[in-house]
Amino acid sequence: MLPRGQTHPDGITLLWNFATDLFETATIERLRDSYLRVLAQCLVDPDRRLETIETMAPEERERLLEGGYREAPFDATHCLHQAFEAHAARAPEASAIATHDATLSYGALNADANRLARHLRGYGVAPDGLVAICMQRTPALFEAVLAVLKAGGAYVPLDPNYPQERLAQMLADARPSVVLTDAASTEVLNAAMTRAEHMAKTIDVGGEREAWSSQSAENLS
Protein backbone atom coordinates (compact mmCIF):
# COMPACT_ATOMS: atom_id res chain seq x y z
CA MET A 1 0.00 0.00 0.00
CA LEU A 2 1.47 3.34 -1.10
CA PRO A 3 -0.16 6.75 -0.83
CA ARG A 4 -1.26 8.71 -3.89
CA GLY A 5 -0.10 12.32 -3.89
CA GLN A 6 -1.69 15.48 -5.25
CA THR A 7 0.25 18.73 -5.52
CA HIS A 8 -1.44 22.10 -4.97
CA PRO A 9 -0.25 25.66 -4.11
CA ASP A 10 -0.32 25.00 -0.35
CA GLY A 11 1.66 21.79 -0.54
CA ILE A 12 1.02 18.10 -1.19
CA THR A 13 -1.99 16.09 -0.11
CA LEU A 14 -1.47 12.37 0.42
CA LEU A 15 -4.34 9.92 0.26
CA TRP A 16 -4.07 6.35 1.58
CA ASN A 17 -6.30 3.74 -0.04
CA PHE A 18 -6.49 0.32 1.62
CA ALA A 19 -8.67 -2.77 1.78
CA THR A 20 -10.74 -2.48 4.96
CA ASP A 21 -11.28 -6.25 5.07
CA LEU A 22 -7.52 -6.78 5.33
CA PHE A 23 -6.31 -3.85 7.45
CA GLU A 24 -7.57 -2.00 10.49
CA THR A 25 -7.59 1.79 10.36
CA ALA A 26 -5.15 1.96 13.28
CA THR A 27 -2.65 -0.13 11.31
CA ILE A 28 -2.78 2.21 8.33
CA GLU A 29 -2.44 5.21 10.63
CA ARG A 30 0.77 3.74 12.07
CA LEU A 31 2.10 3.16 8.54
CA ARG A 32 1.12 6.71 7.61
CA ASP A 33 2.96 8.13 10.62
CA SER A 34 6.08 6.08 9.79
CA TYR A 35 5.98 7.23 6.16
CA LEU A 36 5.68 10.88 7.14
CA ARG A 37 8.43 10.51 9.75
CA VAL A 38 10.81 9.10 7.14
CA LEU A 39 9.81 11.77 4.62
CA ALA A 40 10.43 14.58 7.12
CA GLN A 41 13.93 13.29 7.96
CA CYS A 42 14.83 13.02 4.28
CA LEU A 43 13.65 16.57 3.59
CA VAL A 44 15.76 17.94 6.43
CA ASP A 45 18.85 15.98 5.40
CA PRO A 46 18.69 14.50 1.87
CA ASP A 47 22.15 12.94 2.30
CA ARG A 48 21.24 11.06 5.46
CA ARG A 49 22.23 7.37 5.44
CA LEU A 50 19.33 4.92 5.31
CA GLU A 51 20.33 3.01 8.44
CA THR A 52 20.11 6.22 10.52
CA ILE A 53 16.51 6.99 9.55
CA GLU A 54 14.02 6.39 12.35
CA THR A 55 10.72 4.80 11.34
CA MET A 56 9.20 4.76 14.84
CA ALA A 57 8.61 7.46 17.40
CA PRO A 58 10.81 7.13 20.53
CA GLU A 59 7.84 6.29 22.76
CA GLU A 60 6.66 3.63 20.30
CA ARG A 61 10.11 2.03 20.19
CA GLU A 62 10.33 2.02 23.99
CA ARG A 63 6.89 0.44 24.31
CA LEU A 64 7.78 -2.23 21.74
CA LEU A 65 11.05 -3.14 23.45
CA GLU A 66 9.45 -3.31 26.88
CA GLY A 67 6.65 -5.52 25.64
CA GLY A 68 8.88 -7.88 23.67
CA TYR A 69 11.63 -8.50 26.22
CA ARG A 70 11.30 -11.71 28.18
CA GLU A 71 13.79 -13.70 30.19
CA ALA A 72 13.51 -17.47 29.84
CA PRO A 73 15.58 -20.05 31.71
CA PHE A 74 17.86 -22.23 29.60
CA ASP A 75 19.58 -25.37 30.80
CA ALA A 76 23.17 -24.87 29.68
CA THR A 77 24.03 -28.46 30.65
CA HIS A 78 22.14 -29.81 27.64
CA CYS A 79 23.27 -29.67 24.03
CA LEU A 80 21.24 -28.39 21.09
CA HIS A 81 20.19 -31.83 19.88
CA GLN A 82 19.09 -32.78 23.41
CA ALA A 83 16.83 -29.73 23.53
CA PHE A 84 15.38 -30.85 20.20
CA GLU A 85 14.84 -34.36 21.56
CA ALA A 86 12.99 -32.97 24.57
CA HIS A 87 10.65 -30.95 22.37
CA ALA A 88 10.10 -33.94 20.09
CA ALA A 89 9.07 -35.96 23.13
CA ARG A 90 6.61 -33.26 24.24
CA ALA A 91 5.07 -32.63 20.82
CA PRO A 92 5.99 -35.45 18.41
CA GLU A 93 3.17 -34.62 15.96
CA ALA A 94 3.91 -30.90 15.79
CA SER A 95 5.20 -29.62 12.46
CA ALA A 96 8.98 -29.13 12.46
CA ILE A 97 9.57 -28.48 8.75
CA ALA A 98 7.04 -27.50 6.09
CA THR A 99 7.78 -27.25 2.37
CA HIS A 100 5.50 -26.66 -0.61
CA ASP A 101 4.76 -30.37 -0.90
CA ALA A 102 5.55 -32.00 2.44
CA THR A 103 5.45 -31.53 6.21
CA LEU A 104 7.79 -33.30 8.63
CA SER A 105 6.90 -33.63 12.32
CA TYR A 106 9.31 -33.28 15.23
CA GLY A 107 8.91 -36.96 16.03
CA ALA A 108 9.66 -38.13 12.48
CA LEU A 109 12.64 -35.79 12.10
CA ASN A 110 14.08 -36.89 15.44
CA ALA A 111 13.65 -40.58 14.58
CA ASP A 112 15.32 -40.25 11.17
CA ALA A 113 18.19 -38.28 12.69
CA ASN A 114 18.69 -41.04 15.27
CA ARG A 115 18.87 -43.68 12.55
CA LEU A 116 21.38 -41.68 10.53
CA ALA A 117 23.43 -40.93 13.67
CA ARG A 118 23.82 -44.64 14.36
CA HIS A 119 24.87 -45.14 10.75
CA LEU A 120 27.54 -42.46 11.22
CA ARG A 121 28.82 -44.12 14.38
CA GLY A 122 29.25 -47.26 12.32
CA TYR A 123 31.76 -45.30 10.23
CA GLY A 124 33.69 -44.25 13.31
CA VAL A 125 32.15 -40.83 13.94
CA ALA A 126 32.78 -40.06 17.61
CA PRO A 127 33.03 -37.03 19.90
CA ASP A 128 35.17 -34.26 18.37
CA GLY A 129 35.14 -35.99 14.98
CA LEU A 130 34.45 -33.69 12.03
CA VAL A 131 31.71 -34.50 9.53
CA ALA A 132 31.24 -32.24 6.53
CA ILE A 133 27.77 -31.57 5.14
CA CYS A 134 27.48 -30.53 1.51
CA MET A 135 23.76 -30.46 0.75
CA GLN A 136 20.99 -28.34 -0.70
CA ARG A 137 18.55 -26.64 1.67
CA THR A 138 16.00 -29.41 2.00
CA PRO A 139 14.51 -31.24 5.03
CA ALA A 140 17.32 -33.79 4.65
CA LEU A 141 19.82 -31.06 5.56
CA PHE A 142 18.24 -30.65 9.02
CA GLU A 143 18.26 -34.42 9.37
CA ALA A 144 22.00 -34.48 8.62
CA VAL A 145 22.92 -31.70 11.06
CA LEU A 146 20.98 -33.33 13.91
CA ALA A 147 22.48 -36.74 13.11
CA VAL A 148 26.04 -35.42 13.30
CA LEU A 149 25.37 -33.79 16.67
CA LYS A 150 23.62 -36.91 17.99
CA ALA A 151 26.58 -39.05 16.92
CA GLY A 152 28.82 -36.77 18.98
CA GLY A 153 30.58 -35.13 16.05
CA ALA A 154 30.90 -31.55 14.88
CA TYR A 155 29.68 -30.60 11.43
CA VAL A 156 31.55 -28.57 8.84
CA PRO A 157 29.04 -26.71 6.62
CA LEU A 158 29.99 -26.83 2.94
CA ASP A 159 27.58 -24.74 0.89
CA PRO A 160 27.45 -26.35 -2.58
CA ASN A 161 27.08 -22.84 -4.02
CA TYR A 162 30.51 -21.82 -2.74
CA PRO A 163 33.31 -21.42 -5.32
CA GLN A 164 35.29 -24.61 -5.93
CA GLU A 165 38.43 -23.07 -4.46
CA ARG A 166 36.65 -22.23 -1.21
CA LEU A 167 35.16 -25.72 -0.82
CA ALA A 168 38.53 -27.32 -1.53
CA GLN A 169 40.23 -25.08 1.02
CA MET A 170 37.71 -26.00 3.72
CA LEU A 171 38.05 -29.71 2.98
CA ALA A 172 41.84 -29.54 3.02
CA ASP A 173 41.78 -27.67 6.33
CA ALA A 174 39.15 -29.74 8.18
CA ARG A 175 39.93 -33.12 6.58
CA PRO A 176 36.63 -34.69 7.70
CA SER A 177 36.39 -38.46 7.86
CA VAL A 178 32.84 -38.49 6.49
CA VAL A 179 30.92 -36.15 4.19
CA LEU A 180 27.12 -36.13 4.00
CA THR A 181 25.72 -35.01 0.66
CA ASP A 182 22.77 -35.35 -1.72
CA ALA A 183 22.37 -36.17 -5.40
CA ALA A 184 22.26 -32.51 -6.43
CA SER A 185 25.58 -31.72 -4.72
CA THR A 186 27.64 -34.84 -5.48
CA GLU A 187 29.35 -33.51 -8.59
CA VAL A 188 30.39 -30.28 -6.89
CA LEU A 189 31.62 -32.18 -3.83
CA ASN A 190 33.68 -34.69 -5.83
CA ALA A 191 35.37 -31.90 -7.77
CA ALA A 192 36.22 -30.08 -4.52
CA MET A 193 37.64 -33.23 -2.89
CA THR A 194 39.80 -33.88 -5.94
CA ARG A 195 41.10 -30.31 -5.81
CA ALA A 196 41.74 -30.61 -2.05
CA GLU A 197 43.45 -34.00 -2.50
CA HIS A 198 41.32 -35.31 0.35
CA MET A 199 38.96 -38.20 -0.28
CA ALA A 200 36.52 -38.96 2.54
CA LYS A 201 33.72 -41.48 2.96
CA THR A 202 30.75 -39.91 1.16
CA ILE A 203 27.16 -40.70 2.14
CA ASP A 204 24.23 -39.64 -0.02
CA VAL A 205 21.64 -39.05 2.72
CA GLY A 206 18.65 -39.52 0.41
CA GLY A 207 20.06 -41.98 -2.10
CA GLU A 208 21.42 -44.35 0.54
CA ARG A 209 18.46 -44.08 2.92
CA GLU A 210 17.80 -47.82 2.77
CA ALA A 211 21.26 -48.46 4.20
CA TRP A 212 20.40 -46.74 7.49
CA SER A 213 16.60 -46.66 7.67
CA SER A 214 16.54 -49.98 9.56
CA GLN A 215 18.60 -48.56 12.44
CA SER A 216 16.95 -47.92 15.80
CA ALA A 217 14.90 -44.72 16.05
CA GLU A 218 15.56 -44.33 19.79
CA ASN A 219 17.65 -41.42 21.08
CA LEU A 220 21.35 -42.18 21.42
CA SER A 221 23.17 -42.07 24.73
pLDDT digits 0-9 by tens, 173-196: 999 999 999 999 999 999 999 999
* Integer Cα distance of 128 and 153 in angstroms: 5
DSSP reduced 3-state for 132:
strand
Residue 102 has what pLDDT?
Answer: 79
Residues 159-162: contacts with CB under 8 Å, at least 24 apart: 159/134, 160/134, 160/135, 160/136, 160/184, 160/185, 160/188, 160/189
- Strands (E) in the chain, as ranges, are 4-8, 11-15, 95-98, 103-105, 130-134, 154-157, 178-181, 201-204
DSSP reduced 3-state for 12:
strand
DSSP reduced 3-state for 66:
helix
Residue 3 has what pLDDT?
Answer: 65
Assign 64 a pLDDT band (cuts: 50, 70, 90).
confident
Residue 19 CB-half CA count within 13 A? 3
**Cα-trace Rg, the chain:** 26
Residue 1 has what pLDDT?
Answer: 53
Name which of 19, 20, 14, 49 is nearest 34 in CA terms: 14
Please tell me the pTM assigned to this model: 0.67
